[in-house]
């Protein structure tokens, strides 16, 4: 089963790589401007979580940015409607340039955000890399880490070097332990 899982992960990573290569040719960005009243704490947390999962980065208070492509536009549309339904204000903007942020700088910010997420996963992998024995308890935890890795990779639009490093560690852990 581990071999099948490895093949599936490779297929996913190849697909993500194809998506990332397409995104590197960005000519525009999608900005989501919005605010919710402070009294709507539950909605604010839910929206923040969705923004984080989408891979959006915050560039100013209440201003988030994503590369402009259909799936991300759809995510921002959904969030915009959710904010409005909760009594807030939200606007979507498509921009080729963002004053004060070159495309290279925005890509750096995206990569830095993903690097922080990968670092947390890397820390979670420490028990696996410190010992050669793999218990079933650790196996379940490793499966959760793999799932989180795949979720982060989906939002790693610019192929963060930390993601490639973590991918190598995960592949090494998938190899059968020497007996």
- Taking only the tens place, the pLDDT of each residue in 121-134 is 999 988 877 765 55
* pLDDT computed for residue 173 by the predictor: 84
The secondary structure of the chain as a DSSP string is -HHHHHHHHHHHHHHHHHHHHHHTT---EEEEEEE--TT-HHHHHHHHHHHHHHT-EEEETTEEEEE-SHHHHHHHHHHHHHHHHTT-EEEEEEES-BTTB-HHHHHHHHHHHHHHHHHHHHHHTHHHHH-S---HHHHHHHHHHHHHHHHHHHT-TT--HHHHHHHHHHHHHHSPPP-
Q: Which of 51, 82, 45 is nearest to 64 (CA)?
A: 51
Mean pLDDT of 80-101: 94
d(CA 32, CA 12) in angstroms, rounded, equals 28
Task: List the single range of 45-49, 69-73, 173-177 with lowest mean pLDDT.
Answer: 173-177
């Amino acid at each position: 089963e581990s071999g099948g899982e490895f093949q599936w992960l490779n297929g996913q990573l190849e697909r993500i790589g194809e998506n990332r290569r397409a995104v590197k040719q960005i000519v525009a960005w999608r900005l989501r401007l919005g605010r919710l009243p402070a009294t709507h704490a539950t909605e604010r947390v839910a929206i923040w979580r969705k923004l984080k999962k989408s891979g959006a980065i915050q560039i100013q208070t209440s201003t988030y940015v994503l590369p402009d492509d259909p799936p991300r536009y759809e995510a921002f549309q959904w969030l915009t409607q959710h904010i409005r339904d909760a009594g807030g204000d939200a606007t979507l903007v498509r921009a080729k340039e963002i004053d004060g942020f070159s495309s290279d700088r925005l890509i750096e910010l995206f990569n830095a955000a993903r690097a922080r997420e990968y670092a947390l996963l890397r820390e979670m992998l420490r028990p696996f890399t410190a010992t050669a024995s793999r218990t079933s308890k650790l196996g379940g935890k490793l499966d959760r880490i793999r799932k989180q890795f795949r979720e982060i990779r989906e939002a790693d639009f610019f192929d963060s070097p930390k993601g490639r490093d973590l991918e190598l560690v995960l592949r090494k852990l998938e190899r059968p332990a020497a007996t």
